[in-house]
Structure 1
Amino acid sequence: MTSSFRLANIRPQTAAVILLAALPSCASVPLHQGTSLSSYKDMAASGGSLTKAKLRVDPASVLVARTVRIVPTSAHPGNSGALDPKGLALVANAIDRALCTGLSDRFQVVAANQPADLVVHATVTDIVPTNRTAAATSAVASLGTSVALAIPIPRIPIGLGGLSVEAEAVGQDGAQKAAMLWSRGANMLTTKARISSVGDAYSLSSAFGGDFSRMLVRGHDPFKGKPAIPSIQKIKASLGGDPKYDACKAFGSAPGLTGAVAGQLGLPPSWSDKGAAAPQ
């Protein structure tokens, strides 16, 4: 290679790889503190390789609890006016569904009109909108290339969205027993592009529900320790089957295989997710 080598000599495919490598591979979503928690004191920084979090948990109070009630998630991000209201409702409900399924591993989930040892409530504090044009381009390119080469390809790392949520569990005495601030951005490898402004937030909602419910089930930081094998009831519910407890039916059934196919095609969440069940 001589000193006269220039960028123009680089093959287009190689140049594309270099360009993609120079772009951020995931969206950056800062922790967004809202106003819905009863206390923000004594929260310790935590999180994983993709997730930012701050949390606190009282193990003794959480582990002695046997019943839990879920208050439907509130969704009031600062940019809510720019988001599709139906899509925003699907994000909130997907969080509730994930919480209900995850908490069912140890707790009995009771209906809204029943007393419980713990009351859980989450609030969407921020959503980084997904760029629908970029998502559409990624979905088409991924589908065509995957079919031609029989291998998945990363999505275009432009216009990636994200989600920020806060939640707490309150005991019968009205005191906070556990709390979490949580944020995560979509990434080009594991988050499928959906042609919706809330596409990435919807995809990430189950990750939050899993992290928060795992904190209550285990009674400690969910980002520490070895990952657990999903329970049979969790697998059944994720495939669209009936949940373990009737109270979880309020949040509707998971899209299951239909949702997985819709995700692969890049379709908006509303194409496969029916949302919360109609009030009885």
Structure 2
Amino acid sequence: MDALKSIALLDSGVGGLTVVKEIFKQLPNERIVYFGDTARMPYGPRPHHEVRKFALQIMEFLQTQDIKILIVACNSASAAGLSFTRESSALPVIGVIEPGVRAALAHTRNKRVGVIGTSGTINSRAYDKVIKKLDPEVKVFSQPCPLFVLIVENNLVNTPEAFKVAEEYLRPLKEAGVDALIMGCTHYPLMEEVIQEVMGPQVRLISSAEETAREAKEILRKKKLLNPEENNSSHHRFFVSASPSTFVEIGEKLINHKVNAYQVVLPDIT
């Protein structure tokens, strides 16, 4: 029965677990198969053609795991060419960019929207293009925040240094007067408290993780693929390409759930 198959997610590291956390909230019956490419993270500084190759390689692995939908839970991979990924899969494939944009447009009142992400995501202008397509009147203010991923992956979120880095990165967006800020990297919700404190309560933070889980739920509902059975946590599977112990340490804190991470050595395709 296809409805009993798993939801697959891929990311460069632990960031995609923010989407997993939302799936647990919105789709508690579903089974998760997750792949974090911890050996090659961060994806942000890498060229798009390389990120596409990595994503397709991980997709091939995930498609052997009895899955029913694939979530590219990584903004850098989504920006590098989600259409390329969709063409390579017979399954529904969704990214994290369009769901976040739709939420931001629904919440902005002054039509000044900020976007933060990795250098690769920001330089691709992927968010700008989708925002302008859906509402040409919106002004977009983008800011790369490359150190945020390293802060999260090294478990340094609750440090004075993290706050100082956030203040420096976010200053131009505060000065621009944005009233909605898209956290355009699935790692960034892990820094939400810091980002909110810097930006102030008047700015609505948009988590692409929350919106992506909502979109996955809607697709599964339309295709009659929602799992009708109560889930057992032992059904969840987590794979990484390196450092499983670090992934487990951060992951269990993040999703408040037992994580057993298995290392998969991927062939070098760089």
What TM-score, normalized by structure 2, do the two folds share?
A: 0.24
> In proportion to residue count, which structure has more helix?
2
Name which one, 1 or 2, has greater alpha-carbon Rg: 1
